[in-house]
Amino acid sequence: MKWPSATDARWRRRALVAAALTLASAGVASRIIEEQAELPVKVTDGYGKAVEQAIRLTVFRDDAVDGPRPLIVINHGRATEPQQRAALGRARYPAASAWFVRQGFVVALPTRIGYGVSGGEDVEDSGPCSRKRYPPGFDAAAQETLAVIEFMRRRPDVLPTRTVVLGQSYGGTTAVAVAALNPPGVVTAINFAGGGGGNPQERPENPCGSHLLERLFADYGSRARVPMLWIYAENDKYFGATLPRQWFDAFRQAGGQGEFIRAAAVGDDGHALFSGFPAQWQPAVAEFLGRQGFEMKANEVKKP
């Protein structure tokens, strides 16, 4: 497949609430700029069908920073119902994205196949609760992420050797899946509340096929070579407080490198830790990324 360059892709640019998100960069007023592109991707679903289409990619950057910067790719989660997936709109995580931009990153957020403005069929379908087949769905999400990384690495404002992959919920497991592929330039990954098959209404803290997820994380751990950070809230209604630690232990015992944080309970459902409670995770993420060689700004870290 021939990928579009950063200049010939169909970009749409606009300032993201420029007055509210004015930055101080080396004493120069700047704005967080939000861009969009249609990016062609090709994946294979769980039934062996090849699916090729464009997805919507959202990018946030600081318009006053010269030179290439590290990249962070953020993957969204997966709602339990098709109508909710269709209603996603466009993945943005504006608060988290703005924080990472202020920390010196270019931020890329794909809206994957089967969601929101990207549309398309459900290539992440893993079957009924009693017979889950998780690997193909996460493989598809990981392949889309690799396409995003490859595209973004060609931009002149991106350091091709300094990429972080982060994800929330289904996107968190996708971050682990990408790490297991050891793509060039990816130096670390962060998993927020990663898992699959969760349903807080019908099966609170009891996701479908939790033993299969444990096996999956062990497989990823046997192949991943970059250090990772896993963060789960105590009151995660999708996966509970016990299973995530079991999954992480399986990942580590298989050879994966990582650190596990069980964050304090937040809100009614800690599964929303990443999107809803940035002050709770920013210090830990800043500290972790600092140890991976990223220049983190202490004055941009909120106190929980």
Q: Give the architecture (CATH level 2) of 12-294.
A: 3-Layer(aba) Sandwich (3.40)
State the Cα–Cα distance between residues 187 and 104, nearest whole angstrom.
Answer: 16
State the Cα–Cα distance between residues 284 and 26, nearest whole angstrom.
Answer: 25
pLDDT tens by residue, 32-58: 999 999 999 999 999 999 999 999 999
> 120 in the Ramachandran plot: left (φ > 0), alpha (ψ -120 to 50) or beta?
left
H runs (alpha helix) in 130-230: 134-153, 170-181, 210-223
pLDDT of 19: 27
Burial of 251 per CB tally in 10 Å (0-12, 13-18, 19+): buried
pLDDT of 70: 98
What does pTM read for this prediction? 0.91
pLDDT of 17: 34
Q: Is the distance from CB of 132 to CB of 54 less than 8 angstroms? A: no
> 209 in the Ramachandran plot: left (φ > 0), alpha (ψ -120 to 50) or beta?
left
pLDDT of 11: 45
Q: Which residue, 92, 141, 97, 136, is CA-closest to 116? A: 92
For the residues of 206-219, what is the DSSP string, one character each? --TTHHHHHHHHHH
Percent of the chain with pLDDT over 70: 89
* CB-based contacts of 66, cutoff 8 Å, min separation 6: none
Core vs surface per residue 178-211: b (16+ CB within 10 A) or e: bbbbebebbbbbbbbbbbbbbebeeeebebbbbe
pLDDT tens by residue, 83-124: 999 999 999 999 999 999 999 999 999 999 999 999 999 999
pLDDT tens by residue, 10-26: 444 433 333 234 443 34
pLDDT of 300: 74
Please state, in angstroms and as integers, the Cα–Cα distance from residue 25 to each residue in 64, 65, 122, 289, following that order. Answer: 7, 7, 42, 20
Q: What is the mean pLDDT of the chain?
A: 91
Q: In which element (H, E) is residue 128 found?
A: none
Q: How confident is the model at residue 66 (pLDDT cuts 50, 70, 90)?
A: confident
Q: How far apart are the first and last CA of the chain?
A: 46
Q: Is the distance from CB of 134 to CB of 176 less than 8 angstroms? A: no
Using the predicted structure, report yes or no on whether residue 3 has a pLDDT greater than 50. Answer: no
